[in-house]
Amino acid sequence: MSVTVTFVGSGDAFGAGGRFQTCFMVDAPGFRYVIDFGATSMVALQKLGIDHTTIDAVVLTHIHGDHCGGLPFLLMDSMLGAKRTKPLIIAGPRDTQVRIGEICEALMPGMHVMSPKFHLSYVEMPVMEDSKIGPLTVTPYPAAHTGETNPTSLRTEIDGKVVSYTGDSAWTKHMPSVARDADLFICECYFYGKPIKFHMNYPDIVEHRDDLTPKRMILTHFSREMIPHKDEVPEETAHDGLVVNL
Ligand SMILES: [Zn+2]
Ligand SMILES: [Zn+2]
């Protein structure tokens, strides 16, 4: 069995084009993880017929709602309706555990009194170091995005395959390392013509095309301004439900 990536959500924070927020599911033999879990990700998984209790780990790039805001719902359903038994690992940047706790309490007040019957663990991943999450290795790089979100770009490796993602980030000197030889490099492309601060936009991708050397690159996180141009660009573009075999 090879490694498969499913684009559960390829949209921006605001539902542009009717797309779901960021969530990429990676299936390797015996281990299933998702990169980011936006506020809409529970609905997006259901639309694809995917049972969230089959996910072994959630790996977060940063603490923005369109990348982690679905976790209160995943955790609540895991404890109540879905009666999860499988252990779950939530990995992310520094302060992930306390920040996810705050988000849970803000969206589902009173949730703190519930304790999961399954084993729930948090891993806070230092930047520029390899973190082991089961059979998965994740290397976060500093990203240039809203500082309060502890933003990172990620390289993930499992079963000899590398899936990497810029996260939400303006261009950084680390992007060539994030992309290098990746079996799949998922690259933010927020705006087409109008560069937006703290994000990668199409002009950045054109400017740095020769610096990015993955085996395959797919653009994601499109704004309403980018969507009308997505079929004009030569690069491969994501859509919700896209499945890529590596
Ligand atoms: Zn975002
Ligand atoms: Zn963000």
| Ligand 2 centroid from CA 149, angstroms | 7
Domains defined for the chain, CATH in brackets: 4-245 (3.60.15.10)
| Contact status, residue 155 vs residue 139, Cβ threshold 8 Å | yes
Q: Residue 63 CA: which ligand is closest?
A: 2
- Whether the CA torsion 150, 4, 129, 182 is positive or negative: it is negative
Residues with CB under 5 A from ligand 2 (ion): 64, 168
| Ligand 2 centroid from CA 163, angstroms | 19
| Ligand 1 centroid from CA 1, angstroms | 31
Apex CA 170: angle with CA 201 and CA 37, to 5°?
90
Q: What is the mean pLDDT of residues 198-217?
A: 97
Judged against a pLDDT cut of 70, whether residue 1 lies above it is answered with: no
The model's pLDDT over 73-114, given as tens digits with 9 standing for 90+, comes to 999 999 999 989 999 999 999 999 999 999 999 999 999 999
Rounded to the nearest 5 percent, the helix, strand and coil shares of the chain are 25, 30, 45
Look at residue 169 in the predicted model and tell me its pLDDT. Answer: 98
| Ligand 1 centroid from CA 204, angstroms | 17
Q: Residue 144 CA: which ligand is closest?
A: 2
Q: Residue 143 CA: which ligand is closest?
A: 2
Mean pLDDT of the chain: 97
The model's pLDDT over 130-147, given as tens digits with 9 standing for 90+, comes to 999 999 999 999 999 999
| Ligand 2 centroid from CA 103, angstroms | 15
Interstrand relation of 131-133 and 136-142 (parallel, antiparallel or unpaired): antiparallel
Q: Residue 14 CA: which ligand is closest?
A: 1
Residues with CB under 5 A from ligand 1 (ion): 66, 168
| Ligand 2 centroid from CA 30, angstroms | 30
